[in-house]
Structure 1
Amino acid sequence: MTNPPQNAVPDWDDLLCAGTGPVQQAFLDLVRTTREYVGYSPELVSGLLQTPEYAAAVLRLVVDLYGTPDDIEAGVAARMARAQYIGQDGRTFHVLLGEQALHTNLGAPEVMRGQLRRLLDATDLPGLSLGIIPARARLLVHPGGGFSISDASRVEVEGYGGAETIMDQERVALFRKVFGLLETSAVYGQAARDLITSALTVS
């Protein structure tokens, strides 16, 4: 598959109609061309850090909701391939999760336990900064929905109504500001691992 230029904007709705595989491949192509990635996910684990079992559970919900072709295996494969770029060739990834993401029940209990163990391992990955916003942390901005920013110039937002790519630089700057405000409420390192471990004991 030929990689699109970084400024190419895919039609997410058309891709989704073809199945989860094309959507996840488009996200993989974007990650491949990104040098600096930041992402915020308040209620789900970021796709970059998902286990195959967790990703399959997430994509199953997508297929069931939208009635798209059932190509979950292809979608999972493309989503898993994103992780290979973490720290590669100087790339940096900064991921913020809401504490709720550690508790949102997707799949069987063993799926959640495997996912939480994956997050514990991820805290030591070179090139990755993983922050968790505690449920009781004081927020400086409305938590809103999840989004990601590629190279400080392109924002991807996903929701029930579909996905949106934002490249207007004034709007991008707003998302960058939001991420900075959310970051001030997050914990890292051992404090983040403690939250993950606590969720693991009750999963």
Structure 2
Amino acid sequence: MTIPPPDAAAQGWDDLLRAGTGPVQRSFLDLVRTTREYVGYSPELVSGLLQTPEYAAAVLRLVVDFYGIPDDIEAGVAARTARAQYIGQEGRSFHILLGEQALYTEFGAPEVMRGQLHRLLEATDLPGLTLGIIPARARLLVHPGGGFSIFDYSRVEVEGYRGAETITNQDRLALFRKAFVLLRSSAVYGQAARDLIESALATT
């Protein structure tokens, strides 16, 4: 899945996606570029901010095939993976939560997953990035729900088959901020997170 950012939301998910993955990913890149503080939760796949080109291509292949849109995966991958350059840049902060299932949901061949898991291990040391993983058997304090991204605590993007919903209403924003805090309390960080990644790597 992809998430349409500000101009994409105004233009409409269907209109933008109809042109392929490139326009959506480039617009989303613009959103990340203007964000100073990002928090995101991705329960079943690796966050787009941390995807390898091979993993991103496998994910976008599913999008192209599902929606029957132009096959411009190369352009989509280039814009999607370019987001990572902003992690830690000029004081930006990124806090990403992954569900443990994201370490096992297979996109592409086994070597694609191995490369992606190695990338996550490297990411645990990135300045400006806080990476937490919620163990499969962790006690949750809130219903896990689906993935979401919060930009500068003023805008939320929520994904789904029908496209993406942009939320700016303060009351609804507060619910997502609260959900992230509660999910964060169930996550592990540092060496404990690396141990989970390495366990997944050992079975891939």
TM-score range, shorter chain: over 0.9
Matched, 1:86 2:87: yes
Q: What displacement does 1:17 show?
A: 1.0
Q: Distance in 2 between matches of 1:49 and 1:24?
A: 14
Structure 2 equivalent of residue 196 of structure 1: 197
TM-score, normalising length from structure 2?
0.95
Consecutive unaligned residues in structure 2, runs of 5 or more: none
Could you give the per-residue CA deviations for residues 70-110 of structure 1, whole angstroms, max 9, x where no partner exists? 00000000001100000000000000000000000110000
Could you give the per-residue CA deviations for residues 176-203 of structure 1, whole angstroms, max 9, x where no partner exists? 0000010000000000000000000001
TM-score, normalising length from structure 1?
0.95
Structure 1 equivalent of residue 145 of structure 2: 144
Q: Percent identity?
A: 82
Matched, 1:105 2:100: no
Structure 1 equivalent of residue 183 of structure 2: 182
Structure 1 equivalent of residue 174 of structure 2: 173
User: Is the CA contact 1:42–1:146 (under 8 Å) kept in the aligned structure 2?
Assistant: yes
Matched, 1:77 2:78: yes
Alignment of 1:46-85 (within 5 A): 46-85=47-86
Q: How many residues align?
A: 199
User: Is the CA contact 2:8–2:16 (under 8 Å) kept in the aligned structure 1?
Assistant: no
Matched, 1:158 2:167: no
RMSD (Å) for aligned C-alpha atoms:
1.3
Q: Distance in 1 between matches of 2:22 and 2:6?
A: 19
Q: Distance in 2 between matches of 1:147 and 1:55?
A: 18
Q: What displacement does 1:164 show?
A: 1.0
Could you give the per-residue CA deviations for residues 120-162 of structure 1, whole angstroms, max 9, x where no partner exists? 0000000000000000000001111000000000001111111
Q: Distance in 2 between matches of 1:14 and 1:107?
A: 28
Q: Distance in 1 between matches of 2:57 and 2:18?
A: 18
